[in-house]
Structures are given as structure tokens and as C-alpha cells.
Amino acid sequence: MSTTSDRQLSAPAPVLDGPTPRPPRADVGRSRPARRSWRLSLRRDWQLYALAVLPVAFLLVFRYVPMLGNVIAFRQFRPGGSIFGERWVGLRYVEMFIHDPTFWKVFSNTVILGGLTLLVCFPLPIVLALLLNEVRKKAFKRTIQSISYLPHFLSLVIVAGMVMQLLSLQGTVNQIIEGLGGEAVPFLQRAEWFRTIYVGSEVWQTVGWGTILYLAALTTVDASLYEAARIDGANRWQQTWHVTIPGIRPTMITLLILNIGTFLNVGFEKVLLLYNPLTYSTADVISTYLYRVGLVSNNLSYAAAIGLFQACIGLVMVLSANFISRRVVGASLW
Amino acid sequence: MQRATSSPSVRSAGTPVGARDTRGYRAFTVFNTVALVVVSLFMLYPFVTVLAQSFSSPGAIKAGMVSFWPVGFNLDTYRAMAQDGLFWSSYRNTLVYTLVGTTIAMVLTTTFAFVISKRHLRGRGVLIGVAVFTMFFNGGLVPNYVLISSLGLKNTMWAVVLPGAVSVFNLLVMKSFFENLPQELEEAAQIDGLGWFGIFGRIVLPLSKAVLATMVLFYSVAYWNDWFSAFLYLDKNELFPVTLFMRNLIAGASSSASEGAAAVGATTQAVSANIQAVTMILTIIPIVCVYPFVQRFFVSGVMLGSVKG
């Protein structure tokens, strides 16, 4: 019961004396208030801290332990031994992948695949959103939206299955090719087709969902700006270019930053589902390579070194994209 | 212009305050409508063709005759799948994993979001930082795998259910929702002697039904669709979720195709194309059935997240 009475007394305290603390014995010492208020907040908010225990424990075990587990990139690891490895081996595994030609091959594959995806999948939702924005029939607009969001909710396994069915020798694409008098192409066995297939399925799955934030941003563009532009003699195209696009620019930049930051994580699972040894030369990316090296061939330390390298590049890219956009356009994620 | 300002609905579309429909614009409208219809046909086509294949005869698929419409309509494959014990046990596993996973995820996410939504809380910044940092840097595949194996979770449900249990994105969405709840209610409850547990359970949660529903949907779709953690951590057929069952079907099909043997390969591939189609349809059905009703929750969830972001 004492906690209840404590709360009755102290709960409104942060509101009242937040900015100007007025403890009755403020003159006692410099270190006292800090310690005392920690004790105070523990007593007042212990239930909040108690609620946080499970989630924090979860994050520590399932997020932070693996982060620390990356030390096996610098340590010898014995299956069944400590998850942090047995003994230091220094940069042996880092040197190993730096001198590994396959690593650089998959690295450039990753950059190309990620770059293509960014190039195609970033602008298309903007275009689609602009087109949708011009639709005046509400019902029509809503139908198109519903249809285009749907692929987003499918498992990658289903998407891969659909891709395989469409591109199989009996599939629709080859039916069309044969209908036009061509030879059926085993697309999924051809390395030169992999990038197209990957980016195409990525567009199919993400373009509709990607419009949501742009459509939301479009509704916030001030209507009087259009009016002003029209009075100045701007036609529809000029209105779009000079009013609409600047209106959604912050959204574009935010999403661009997010995309650049995750650029190296090119859809690992999708590649894993769609590639096969015949297409490794274009399809194999860093994460699939480290998956095979680490978990199929059991070279865990080596794979951890590659994974750590990839994660660090990813972190640097998010931070620098954010920094650049803050400097150049004044918009940033945090 | 008069008309446009008087009807507020026009404004939201950002459209031409009373723009005159010039000939050019009318042409554009036609083009636009056609373009959008074509786009949505592209979006729908894969569903249609898979549905058509699932009802077609293997021979017709093998001959490359199936596109929009079933050829040689029959229900044999559906009947065969109905007998397939492994398929149904996978289906049941998916249901269980989704249910358990979503429950755990919801408990962890709501409690933590509630805690970090309390601005006065000491150490709040640290708690938020601990969560947000995991968005930008994660342990990676190998250390996660090592952790799960050394915890002895391989070949248990927990390997599938636990690692995905807190999505920081969902957490932040929820936090911003809780922050925007009226403070007065909580203060009044405190004065009436309710502790934080009580405030959480009796005031905050009942006020947050909409956002809770959204989160449940986000998590359950993620668990329903997940295949990779099952692929990594489960070796036993009887533990597989349906997505992994499906994955093994398509992996089998593609490996038999790459082995080449035209005559033999083609038959097995066409047969499995049928089975694949049916499996896909049966896996998609729950999502497609709920989708029309829940779509707006998803959209609003994304918007909430963007306000924060």
C-alpha cells in the first residue's frame, strides 16, 4: 500500500517540478539529488521498469548477444563450443575474404543487383502515386490501390513459386514467345536473365505498397499552390513538376535514405529461392555466399567475418546518406 | 473555382482547383485510366494463372496451354492434396507458429512501447536507444544461427517463433500512438490510486484497440509468410510450416528441371506444377480472404510509422 501513497504524492511531480527541481533539502550535496531521484523514480516507477524487463531481456539475448557473437570473426570457433569462440586468431578470416576472388565477385554482384533494384524500384512508386493522384473516380482509385497492395502480403516463397511458374518452359512468357514464333527460353537457368527476373519480381511485389506514403504526402500539398500556379499560367504538367513534386520531396528523400541504407541487403531470401548453380555468376550475392560458406560448408568464422563486413558497410551507408541529405537538403531521419 | 472550394473532397486529391478539362487533359485521363488498368492486370495475372493451373489437367500444363482459364478442368490435385498428411500438418504448424508468435510479439511490443512512451521515465532514452540501435546494426546470419543452436532451440517451435518477436518498426509505431493518448486520463487514474500495471491494463490497452489490431495483423502476416527461420533451424518434416513445404516443392521442381532430361523431367515438372499451384492457392487463401477487411489497418499502420520516422 505504501507504493500507492507514494504515487499519489509523487506522480504529478514531473509535471510540477520538472524544469525547476525544488527538493526540500537541495543544499545537502551535489551528488545526492541525482542518486536520490534515481531511488525516487525506482520507487515511483518500479512497475514501469518491471514491464520493461522481459522486452529488454529479449533484445539483449536475441539482438545484442548475436552482435557480440560477431567476435567469432576474429576467433577460432568450434562447433558445440562457446558461442564466442575459443581463441583469438586476429584478422585471419578478414584477410581470407579479402584475398578470396569469389568474395569480390559476389560483392560486385551485390552492388549491381542492389543498384538496379534501387534505380527501378525507387522511382516507380512515385510515378504510380502521381498517376493515382490524378484519378477522380474514388471507387476506381480504391480498386486499383487494393489490387496493387496485394502482392506485398505474399510470402516470398509464393512469389518465387509464381515467378517459376510464369517463366517455366510451359509458362505464360514462353507461351507468348512461342506464339510469336520464337524458341522457349529456360529463363531461370540463364545467368543473363537473373537480374531482370529479380528486379521484375521486386517491382511486382513492392510498387503498389510503395505508393502509400507518397499518396499520403500528396494529400498534404497545399491546394492554394495549385491555384497560384494556374493563375501564373502553369499547365498541368508544370503544376505537377513545380508544385506536386516539391511537395512530396521530403518523403522521397526519407525513403531514398532508407533504401540506400539497406541497399546491400538485397533480398537475400528471394535470391536464395530463385537462384541455382547455373545462375551463380550473376545471382550469387554476399549474403547467399556467406550462407553457403557458413551454414552449408560450416565455415562459421569465415562467414561471420563477411557478415560483419557487410553490416558495417550498411551502417556506414545509412549514416552517410543521412548526413549528406541533412547537409544538402535539410531533411534527415533523426 | 467556386465549385472546387465548396467541395472539400476535391481538395484531398490535390486536383486542379477547377481546372478546365482541356483536350490534352482529357486525353491524359484516358491514357491514365488505361495505364492503371494495365498495371493492375499485371498485378493480378500471376494469381489468375496459378488459379487456372490448379484446376487444369497436368497434360494441359505440360503442353503449355494454360494461361487465364483452366484447361481440362478437374479437382484431382485438390483431392490429392486433401489426402496429403504432410501438407496438412505443415498447415497446422503454420497456424500454431503464427498464433504463438503473434501472442509473444504482442506482449513484448505493447509492454515495451508503453514503458518508452512515458516521457518522465528515467532511463527512457537508453531504453529507446537499445531498441533503435538494432534497426541499424544486426548480428547477422551466422551469430544468430550459433546462438539459436547453442540455446538448444533447433528443431523446436521456439527457433521460429522467438527471433522475430520484436519488430522495432512496430514498436515505434505503438510508442507514438501511446504518446498521443490523452494524458489526463492517466493522471486521473494515478490520483485514484491506480498503479502503472492498472493504467496499462485497464486504461491504455482498451483505448488502443485499433492500433493493437493493426499490430496483430502485421505480426501474424509476418509469421504466416516466414519460411527462412524454419528453413534454417528445422530439419524435421513434421515441424515444417507450409511455406517451407512449398519451398521444398519448388526447389525440387527447379533441381529436376536443371538436371535437364527433357522427356522424363518434363512430366515430373508438370505434375509438380499442378501440386505447386494448389499449394500456393491454399496458402494464399487465408490472406486473400482477410485482406479486403484488414487492408485499411495496414495502410494506417504504415502512416503512423511514417509520422514517427
Classify residue B58: in a domain, yes or no. Answer: no
Q: What is the dihedral of CA A173, A178, A184, A187, to 10 degrees?
A: -20
- B257 near A168, Cβ under 8 Å? yes
Cβ of B64 within 8 Å of Cβ of A166? The answer is: no
- Can you read off the three cell numbers belonging to residue B207? 483505448
CA–CA distance, A64 with B132 (Å, rounded to integer): 12
User: Which chain A residues in 11-70 lie under 8 Å from chain B, judged by CB atoms?
Assistant: 11-12, 14-15, 18, 37-38, 41, 45, 47-49, 51-52, 54-56, 58-59, 61-70
Q: Are residues B1 and B140 in the same domain?
A: no
Q: Are the CB atoms for A59 and B166 separated by under 8 Å?
A: yes
The ipTM value here is 0.82
Shortest Cα–Cα distance, A210 to chain B (Å): 10
Give the H or E element holding residue B69: none
Q: Name every chain A residue with its beta carbon within 8 A of the beta carbon of B17.
A: 223, 226-227, 230
Q: Do A189 and B280 touch (CB under 8 A)?
A: no
Give residue A7's pLDDT. 36
- Which residues of chain B does A146 touch, with a Cβ-Cβ cutoff of 8 Å? 291-292, 295
Confidence label for A218 from pLDDT (cuts 50, 70 and 90): confident
Domain residue spans in chain A? 2-73, 92-329
Residue pair A276/A191 in contact by the 8 Å Cβ criterion? no
Q: Do B158 and B274 share a structural domain? A: yes
Residue of A nearest to B265 (CA): A169
**CA distances for A18 relative to A12, A23, A31, A37, A187, angstroms:** 10, 11, 18, 12, 66
**Co-location of B41 and B169 in the same domain:** no
- A 93-112: CB under 8 A from B: none
Whether A285 and A271 have beta carbons less than 8 Å apart is answered as yes
pLDDT in tens, B271-297: 577 888 888 999 888 888 888 777 777
d(CA A143, CA A334): 35
Q: What is the pLDDT of residue A124?
A: 94
- Specify whether B148 is located in the same domain as B41: no
Looking up cell 544486426 gives B138
Q: How confident is the model at residue A231 (pLDDT cuts 50, 70, 90)?
A: confident
Comparing CB atoms, the residue among B224, B253, B306 nearest residue A213 is: B306
Cα–Cα dist A141/A134, whole Å = 9
- What's the rounded Cα separation, in Å, for the pair A256 and B205? 35
Please give the DSSP secondary-structure letter assigned to residue B166: -
Do residues B13 and B159 both lie within one domain? Answer: no
Amino acid (1-letter code) at residue B99: L
Three-state secondary-structure class, residue A87: strand
Q: Rounded to an integer, what distance in angstroms lies between the CA atom of residue B224 and that of residue A267? A: 18
B142 lies in a domain? yes
pLDDT confidence of residue B86: 86
Is B173 inside a domain boundary?
yes
What's the start-to-end Cα distance of chain A, in Å?
Answer: 42
Q: What is the CA radius of gyration of chain A?
A: 28
Residue B66 lies in a domain: no
- Domain for residue B230, yes or no? yes
N-terminal to C-terminal alpha carbon distance within chain B:
36
Give pLDDT, residue A108: 92
Identify whether residues B188 and B252 lie together within a single domain. Answer: yes
**Domain match, B200 and B151 both:** yes
Domain carrying residue B170:
84-308
Helices B242-258 and B85-116: crossing angle in degrees, nearest 10, is 120
Mutate to test the interface with A, among B134, B141, B192, B259 (most CBs of A within 10 A): B141
Q: What pLDDT, in 10s, does the model give residues B202-237?
A: 888 988 888 888 889 889 989 999 999 999 999 888
Q: How far apart are CA A259 and CA A265, in angstroms?
A: 10
CB contact under 8 A, A165 and B40: no
- Find residue A87's DSSP bridge partners: A76
Please indicate, yes or no, if residue B75 is contained in any of the structural domains. Answer: no
Domain A92-329: what homologous superfamily? MetI-like (1.10.3720.10)
- The answer to whether residue B55 is domain-embedded is no
Restricting to A residues 284-313, those with a Cβ less than 8 Å away from any Cβ of B are: 287, 290-291, 294-295, 300, 303-304, 307-308, 310-311
Element (H, E) at B138: none
Q: Which residue in A148, A332, A318 sits closest to A254, CA to CA?
A: A332
Residues B29 and B103 in one domain: no
Nearest chain A residue (CA) to B120: A14
The CA distance from B208 to the nearest CA of chain A, in Å, is 18
A251 to chain B: which residues are within 8 Å by CB? 306
A266 touches chain B (CB under 8 A): no
CA angle B243, B247, B250 (to 5 degrees): 140
The beta strand positions in A61-129, using DSSP E, are 75-76, 87-88
CATH code assigned at B138: 1.10.3720.10
What total of structural domains would you count in chain B? Answer: 2
Give residue-wise pLDDT tens across range B166-175: 988 889 888 9
Q: Does A273 touch chain B (CB under 8 A)?
A: yes
Position A2 confidence tier, pLDDT thresholds 50, 70, 90: very low
Domain assignment present for B139 = yes
Nearest CA in chain B to A144: B40
> Do B38 and B119 sit in the same domain of this protein?
no
Q: How confident is the model at residue A331 (pLDDT cuts 50, 70, 90)?
A: low
Taking the C-alpha atoms of residue B249 and residue B84, their distance in angstroms, rounded to an integer, is 13
Instruction: Enumerate the residues of chain B whose CB falls inside 8 A of the CB of residue A188.
Output: 254, 257
Integer Cα distance of B15 and A135 in angstroms? 9
